[in-house]
Amino acid sequence: MPIPHIDFRANTQRVSPHLIAATQKSTRTALAKRAQAIEIVGEDQWQALRQAGHDIKLHALTHLDEYLPMVEARVTQAGGVVHWARDDVEARRIVLEIAAQHRVKRIVKSKSMATEEIELNRALQDAGIAVFETDLGEYIVQLAGQRPSHPTAPALHLTKEDIAALFRAKLGVDAPPDPQTLCEIARGKLREEFLSADMGISGGNFLIAETGTLVIVTNEGNGRMCTALPPVHVAIVGIEKVIPDWEGLAVMLKLLARSGTGQKITAYTNLITPGGEEGPREFHLVLLDNGRSRMLQDEIARETLACIRCGACANICPVYNHVGGFAYGAIFLGPIGAIVAPQLLGVKVAGDLPFASSLCGACGDVCPVKIPIPNILLHLRHRVVEGDQFASATVSPILGVGARVGTTALGTPWLYRLGARMMRLFQASFRRGDWLPTLPPPLDRWTMARPFPAFRSDFRAWWRRR
Amino acid sequence: MQAQLFLTCLGENFFSPALKDMVEVLERLGVQCAMPEGQTCCGQPFYNSGFQSQTRGLARQWLKAFGATDGYIVAPSGSCVDFVRHRYVELFPAGTREHALAQATAARTCEFSQFLVNVLQVTDVGASFPRKVTYHASCHGLRGLGLRDEPKRLLRAVKGLELIPLSSEETCCGFGGIFSMVYPEVSRAMMEDKVNTIQASGAEVVVVGEPGCLMNIAGGLQKINSPVKAMHLAEILASRA
Ligand code: SF4
């Protein structure tokens, strides 16, 4: 289904203060824990790790032609089945076919962005299959019929009271607003699903090329349950998740846990190589492209694909912290969402998002794999406004004419000075002391929040008089 | 030592007192100031709005004004210096004359406080300002130029000045150039947070070294008739008892 244009401003005007408070509380905690974890590592060592993580991912991304066939060979050798999905349609079809072969009725899923990206749940449900998200946050969000509001903490926007009410309404149980009890209720329900499911679906955090190993990290153990209990396991993994070797994995795991939650290591790190002693009878790996190879052609923006989904950029982003996850209009949230969405969904749909940043740069500094997010935001703003070799501009050409007039006037010294003089005349009727409290559109977008300072361009006159 | 004054368009049009104070401080330290007449706007607002090819004209004009001058180019803004230093070279293809000029000129462009502390190696500029002062770290200077300690070292050396830490000192004030116009509600929320932490700090003055942020923060304080005053770093350093 084509996604309509994401109107970021309208979305931000609908945000509830409740959501903002919950978001800020949780991001603050995550960042504090992150800071502690990094202090233990030491700043220099941390910077060295970041650089190593960046280099590993960039090397892999620019050598996918080498590593992806390696993954395919190793997984096949070990008895797994590898599928290549060019886009979401193909990916859904592959999963539906596997499900049909095994007459699957119930599926348990561990948290996966790739499956959300291809809207897999809806396709499965349309085929009459019951799908259960098993990450606690995802489970809650699924029950509520909502979307995740944070990359790693999907239900961050809901309080324990909200969740208790939701459990009472949807599960018909007596649920007090107590995290421990709520957790136990969900655990009980999920345990039944794990045991009765006939297929498990997961994403993947990393794919290790040298052994064809799928790596899934979780803090709840649900990933292990999903991939080990049901007889069939299907993993849907973006092609950008591949890394060359286990040495690299050690670096990535250190970065991911510390960046996301401040842990030294996530509670469960599942290393799945098909044909192992435990695990499902059948293992399928769906390698998903869905626009990624197109993204890779863009030398500036392709670093986007290095993302390990730690959520730190969202945690630190002052914009995200004031709008929450839903304002981004799709599953791609925060600074990383603002650069992924325009590339995956196109600038027609997500052209607002690269502008949803004050370019403060905090995201780039915090990113464990050193993705230059601010640079990519600028690169995509350019795509939206002037167009580039990957997409044509989507803003009105009138803006371009306006910019041409603006750059010409500002770039011509006498026009620039004339402009300043005219502004001084223009401001006379608005001026109250040193300030212009209200101004006509579009400048009222500034004065709705604070007055504009009065023009005082007398420096050159002063300079000449001296 | 010679310094070419890079006024910046926001500085020139809204903060001429700060510019005059910058000149005063530089001259007090024996720097000879010059002011290239042909300078206008460095082009950052257009670049950040996405009009990156159109920015080239402004960059050319800026290079025309500053390219043939000597000595350091000093600006009361970290953001404009960050832009000139890091983006100009990207605007012109490597190997061209303009690229080489951009590179050479960018290399001698310097933010005011970094010029004082790192080039002139001065922290005590002989100022006196007996007030409680707090400092907001502007994003582009901070993350683009590594501008973290210099302003505070200068402030600590001011006679009578009490420097009070600001919580979330390094959090964006919500200005963001075009951002404040495209998403005014979000910009406002960020600005209000900043203003609240400034008020809560107990300072009488908040120092900002960046015209854009100064517009935003000073405006926000004015809006609620706050007793706290926002000032440019140069204004404090020019103060004498
Ligand atoms: S872009 Fe970087 S900080 Fe943001 S989620 Fe991805 S890895 Fe984490």
pLDDT digits (tens, 9 = 90+) for A407-440: 888 888 888 888 888 888 888 889 999 999 999 9
> What are the chain A neighbours of B223 within 8 Å (beta carbons)?
449-451
Banded pLDDT at A278 (limits 50, 70, 90) = low
Residue A403: CB atoms within 10 A of its CB come to 21
The CA distance from A227 to A242, in Å, is 19
A303 pLDDT above the threshold of 90 = yes
pLDDT in tens, B190-212: 999 999 999 999 999 999 999 99
Strand partners of residue B171: none
Same-domain check for residues B32 and B59: yes
Banded pLDDT at A162 (limits 50, 70, 90) = very high
Q: In terms of CATH architecture, what is A47-142+187-255+264-290?
A: 3-Layer(aba) Sandwich (3.40)
At residue B121, the pLDDT reads 98
Are B39 and B6 contacting, i.e. CB atoms less than 8 angstroms apart?
A: yes
Mean pLDDT over each residue of chain A, to the nearest integer? 94
The model's pTM is 0.96
Distance A35 CA to ligand 1 centre (A): 16
Same-domain check for residues B89 and B193: no
Same-domain check for residues B107 and B157: no
Shortest alpha-carbon distance between residue A447 and chain B (Å): 9
**B96 near A CB under 8 A:** no
A38 pLDDT above the threshold of 60 = yes
Give the pLDDT mean for A253-265: 96
Where a domain ends, among B74, B99, B118? Answer: B118
Residue B176: CB atoms within 10 A of its CB come to 26
**B46 near A CB under 8 A:** yes
**B32 near A CB under 8 A:** no
User: What's the domain range around B165?
Assistant: 123-238
At residue A246, the pLDDT reads 97
Q: Decide if A453 and B190 are in contact by the 8 Å CB cutoff.
A: no
- DSSP-based three-state secondary structure for B239: coil
What residues contact B239, with CB distance under 8 A and at least 6 apart? B127, B128, B129, B158
Q: Using CB atoms and an 8 Å cut-off, which of residues 396-455 of chain A contact chain B?
A: 400, 403-404, 406-408, 410-413, 416, 420, 423, 435, 442, 445-446, 448-455
Residue B154: CB atoms within 10 A of its CB come to 26
In the structure encoding, which two tokens stand for residue B53, read together? 């090819």
Q: What's the DSSP call for residue A302?
A: G
pLDDT in tens, A40-77: 999 999 999 999 999 999 999 999 999 999 999 999 99
Binding-site residues, ligand 1, Cβ < 6 A: A 151, 259, 307-313, 336, 366-369, 371
Q: What are the domain boundaries of chain A?
A: 47-142+187-255+264-290, 400-465
At residue B241, the pLDDT reads 72
At residue A414, the pLDDT reads 87
The CA distance from A209 to A215, in Å, is 11
Q: Work out the percent of chain A whose per-residue pLDDT is above 70.
A: 99
Distance B189 CA to ligand 1 centre (A): 24
> What are the chain A neighbours of B182 within 8 Å (beta carbons)?
9, 355
Same-domain check for residues B152 and B106: no
pLDDT in tens, A78-125: 999 999 999 999 999 999 999 999 999 999 999 999 999 999 999 999
Where a domain ends, among B83, B118, B153? Answer: B118
Distance B90 CA to ligand 1 centre (A): 25
Same-domain check for residues B56 and B141: no
B96 pLDDT above the threshold of 60 = yes
The CA distance from B15 to B9, in Å, is 10
Instruction: Read off φ and ψ for residue A282, nearest 5 degrees.
Output: -130, 135
Same-domain check for residues B163 and B114: no
Same-domain check for residues B110 and B26: yes
A279 pLDDT above the threshold of 80 = no
Q: Please state the domain count of chain B.
A: 2
Same-domain check for residues B97 and B61: yes
At residue A277, the pLDDT reads 67
Same-domain check for residues B8 and B111: yes
Shortest alpha-carbon distance between residue A301 and chain B (Å): 15
Same-domain check for residues B197 and B133: yes
The CA distance from A232 to A97, in Å, is 13
Q: Decide if B61 and A9 are in contact by the 8 Å CB cutoff.
A: no
Are A328 and A334 contacting, i.e. CB atoms less than 8 angstroms apart?
A: yes
Q: Which of B185, B216, B231 to mutate to test the interface with A (most CBs of A within 10 A)?
A: B185
Same-domain check for residues B112 and B149: no
ω into residue B130 within 30 of 0, thus cis? Answer: no
Identity of the amino acid at A354: P
- Walk across the sheet containing B162-164 and list its strands: B162-164, B132-136, B205-208, B229-232
Banded pLDDT at A341 (limits 50, 70, 90) = very high
CATH of the domain at B169: 3.40.50.1860
Where a domain ends, among B91, B118, B145? Answer: B118
Give the pLDDT mean for A268-287: 86
Banded pLDDT at A387 (limits 50, 70, 90) = very high
Atom of ligand 1 nearest to the CA of A260: 8
- DSSP-based three-state secondary structure for B129: coil
Give the pLDDT mean for B71-95: 96
Atom of ligand 1 nearest to the CA of A363: 3
**A246 near B CB under 8 A:** no
At residue A419, the pLDDT reads 83
A404 pLDDT above the threshold of 90 = no
The CA distance from A20 to A25, in Å, is 8
H/E run at residue A300: none
Residue that has been written with the tokens 């979330």 in this structure: B168
At residue B145, the pLDDT reads 97
* Three-state SS letters, A40-90: HHCHHHHHHHHHHHHHHHHHHHCCHHHHHHHHHHHHHHCCCEEEEECCHHH
Question: What is the Cα Rg of chain A in Å?
Answer: 25
Strand partners of residue B135: B207
Nearest to B175 among A358, A364, A435 (CB): A358
- DSSP-based three-state secondary structure for A400: helix
Are A271 and A221 contacting, i.e. CB atoms less than 8 angstroms apart?
A: no
Mean pLDDT over each residue of chain B, to the nearest integer? 96
At residue A403, the pLDDT reads 83
**B34 near A CB under 8 A:** no
Shortest alpha-carbon distance between residue A27 and chain B (Å): 14
Pairing status of strand A206-208 against strand A242-243: parallel
Are A107 and A199 contacting, i.e. CB atoms less than 8 angstroms apart?
A: yes
Length of chain B (residues)? 241
At residue A1, the pLDDT reads 57
Residue that has been written with the tokens 């180019």 in this structure: B73
Same-domain check for residues B138 and B227: yes
Give the pLDDT mean for B201-229: 97
Distance A310 CA to ligand 1 centre (A): 5
The CA distance from B241 to B203, in Å, is 19
- DSSP-based three-state secondary structure for B157: coil
Q: Decide if B53 and A386 are in contact by the 8 Å CB cutoff.
A: yes
